[in-house]
Amino acid sequence: MLLECLRIVFTKHFDLKLAPSDLESGASQRAEIMRLIRDCAFAVVAIDGLRPNVVFEFGALHAHDKPVIFLKEAAAQVDIRSYYRDPAGLEINPVSIDVDSQLSDAKDLNYKTWSRFSVKATVNTLWSEYVKKMHEIIPYIEIPEPNLW
């Protein structure tokens, strides 16, 4: 759902790139991700499972001083099962994501909450957060406010 919201807001104005789907076949995944990050005007980081690859990409964006629209899904939980190849019989209680403790080095960053159940609200959040970053994003392209209905 978030991908569709990103497309609604940004596709007409930016060349939207997604890791890992936009990586080149046969190339180093890390090198390709770093190239995408180096060449981007800004990024959207969506914390919905606190997966290590997303945290790595978030850190790389920070290291390259790229503007970030930082989103946390309202019902997000740490995707603990993704750390295990075969979790059969493994009982793990879900852990809600707490940005202030689990991403404590990024505590100074504000984030917006989005809900995978509300397309209109998510589109509006993406657009309004983009507009707030107008002085950080180079080149900044004025995007009209999306009007879904």
pLDDT digits (tens, 9 = 90+) for 2-61: 999 999 999 999 999 887 676 777 878 888 899 999 999 999 999 988 888 888 999 999
Which class is 2-132 in CATH? alpha beta
CB of 16 closer than 8 Å to CB of 9: no
CB of 114 closer than 8 Å to CB of 74: yes
| pTM across the whole model | 0.85
Kindly list the domain boundaries of the chain, sorted by start residue.
2-132
Please state, in angstroms and rounded to a whole number, the distance separating the CA atoms of residues 57 and 37: 8
